[in-house]
Amino acid sequence: MWSIQNLLFIFCISLRCLTSAVGMIHVTGYVGREVNVSCSYEQSYVSHEKYLCKNDCGNSDVLITTSQASKTKYSIYDDTSARIFTTTIFDLQYTDAGKYWCGVTKTGTDIYTEVKLKLVQDRCCDTVTKVQSYEGHSESVSCRYESQYQNSLKYICRGNRPSTCLQQALITSDTKQNARFRLDDDKVLGTFTVTISNLTRNDSGSYLCGVHRNSELDVFSAVELKIEEWCCVKSTKINGTAGHPLTLQCPYPPQHWDNRKFLCKGDHRNNCSDMVTSRSRFTLQDDAASSSFTVRITELEAADGGTYWCGSDSQWRVGNYTKIELSVFLQHTRKIPDAALYVLYTVPPVLLLMCLLVTVYKNRSSRVNEADDTMSRNTPKEKNIEEVMGAAESGIYKNQEVVMTYVQQKVCKDGGGDEGVYEIMTAVATEDIYCNENFHKANRR
């Protein structure tokens, strides 16, 4: 028969097991980060002190209590409404891994809940899915998950640090759409897909697909996205003349013989306008035998200059289009030489001035002749006058020849200048006028 002492021993052992190991809590944390250890308790212990301890949970093993609030490495918070107290351990190191106890102080033996803490590196993952795309394109990233996580929160973030991924998520299954990012969850296939539109080179890098789990670390899969420059299989520069026709040549892959061919204009293919359907001056002719098509512009206009894209793939995949830089010039006009301009603009005034001098001289000569007839001067004097007048007229014509010769030399030699020509003409004209005036004054005496 069992003695009373044996029965009491068994009873005490059973009671300790019930009070000290209500349940095992498994917690996993990332090295260098923090982790939360949450433990629940009954309503009757709301006002009791709670604490976290390690190893055998002796007095020296107590790490923090609710009466201490916080320490450098630990903090504790008691949510009495939810009857859960949570201890946070900061700056985790591998030495922090091991067994802990959540304790509730009471009369007699305290209530304990065992906690198992496991630490892992804050990185992911051993397997990486690589995705390549191009600038301006849209790309979809598919992330698989297990069937038990159908209703769990899904998300994606940049980088490879699982500890901060959810806080820095670009989009989650709750929001579904966020700017350039869209998330679609196919629960039947167990796959959620994130689509990124209008890609740029800055979108290149590491991404993590995450599935949230309440009691354990989230599940992740890694993706490496590489965005390459959207560039041409062929790029060419063409010159044309306004008012003349021009033909553009566009090759395409042989397998696209049945695709719709197009030519559009714009600085980038995302904002280019179809020219063949909207412009009657543009006509397209396909030659499947040579795997190319031509676009003829019947009469170029100055506004036709710019960047064109021709291809046979509406999806704008690399290698299926041609970039054309078209420059349009106006028709060539002959430029008048500078020397000719000087002759054109300076000679007529010179001729006009010479005509004016000759007219003044003839008028004055007529008056002198009339005066001589009425006064009946002697013949020698008249002869002298005629000689003087002949000499004057000869001088004027000689001056005219000198002026014209100077102008021609000035123009032919160095282009001359308007100021130089006018200075010479003014000097000559003034001298001739003064000479004529002196001549007439002498005859009046």
Tell me the C-alpha to C-alpha distance, in Å, between residue 110 and each of 64, 103, 134, 359. Answer: 15, 7, 63, 138
Q: Where in the chain is the domain with CATH 2.60.40.10?
A: 4-120, 128-228, 235-329
Torsion of CA 426, 429, 430, 433, to 10 degrees: -160
**Cα–Cα distance measured from residue 275 to residue 252, given in angstroms and rounded to the nearest whole number:** 18
What pLDDT is recorded for position 269? 73
Phi and psi torsions of 299, nearest 5°: -150, 105
Fold of 4-120: Immunoglobulin-like (2.60.40)
CA 27 to chain CA mean position, Å = 46
128-228 CATH: 2.60.40.10
- The model scores a pTM over 0.75: no
What pLDDT is recorded for position 271? 78
Q: Which residues contact 207 (CB under 8 A, 6 or more apart)?
A: 141, 156, 157, 158, 159, 222, 223, 224, 225
Q: What is the pLDDT along the chain (445 residues), one digit of tens a residue?
A: 444 444 333 333 333 333 344 578 999 999 999 999 999 999 999 999 999 999 888 888 999 999 886 788 999 999 999 999 999 999 999 999 999 999 999 998 999 999 999 999 999 998 999 999 888 888 999 999 999 999 999 999 999 999 999 999 999 999 999 999 999 999 999 999 999 998 999 999 999 999 999 878 999 999 999 998 766 557 889 999 999 999 999 988 888 889 889 999 998 877 788 898 766 899 999 999 998 999 999 999 999 999 999 888 877 766 667 889 999 998 764 444 444 444 444 445 556 667 666 666 666 655 545 555 544 444 444 444 445 445 444 444 444 444 444 444 444 444 444 444 444 444 444 444 444 444 444 444 4
What pLDDT is recorded for position 385? 43
What pairing do the DSSP bridges indicate for beta strands 139-144 and 128-134? unpaired
Burial string for 415-435 (b: 16+ CB within 10 Å, else e) reads ebeeeebeebbeebbeebeee
What pLDDT is recorded for position 77? 94
Can you tell me which residue has the tokens 């197009």? 262
What pLDDT is recorded for position 219? 95
Q: Could you tell me if 115 and 99 are in contact, meaning their C-beta atoms sit under 8 angstroms apart?
A: yes
Can you tell me which residue has the tokens 């170029």? 300
Fold of 235-329: Immunoglobulin-like (2.60.40)
